[in-house]
Amino acid sequence: MGFRENNFILSCEWAKEVRVNSVILSSIIHSDPYLFPPESITVKGGMDKSSMKVLGRLIPEKLEERSMQYFKFYECQFDPLPVRYVEIIVQPLQRIPMWHQGKGEKGWFFIDEVVFQAD
């Protein structure tokens, strides 16, 4: 799935509590077709939807130069916490760097897999 104009938002719910300690997102990076690391990744969680708090936040490194295609795994780790609800919010890159032919435009964030680590 690809996201550019809107955030990637994944909301998960479990019937019973689970102790989640990290979330891993699989993405693809390739500068020429505007596939960039995201601006930010935020993971929220809680026992009910109305009282979720930020469990972890990741600000990925920016690309400094042109890159060929490669897969990138982003892991957002946090203290283990029992939850029934988790929400992942990924904000695509808001401004492509000045060295790129698409400078100033928004970048694409492509995602193909989400893994929850629990103990």
**pTM score, two decimals?**
0.93
DSSP string, 57-87: EE-PPPP-S----EEEEEEEEEEEEEEEEEE
User: How far, CA to CA in Å, does 55 sit from each of 60, 79, 111?
Assistant: 17, 8, 21
Please compute the mean of the pLDDT values over residues 20-48 and round it to a whole number.
Answer: 96
What's the burial of 89, exposed, middle or buried (CB within 10 Å: 0-12/13-18/19+)? middle
- At residue 28, the pLDDT reads 96
Domains of the chain: 2-118 (2.60.120.260)
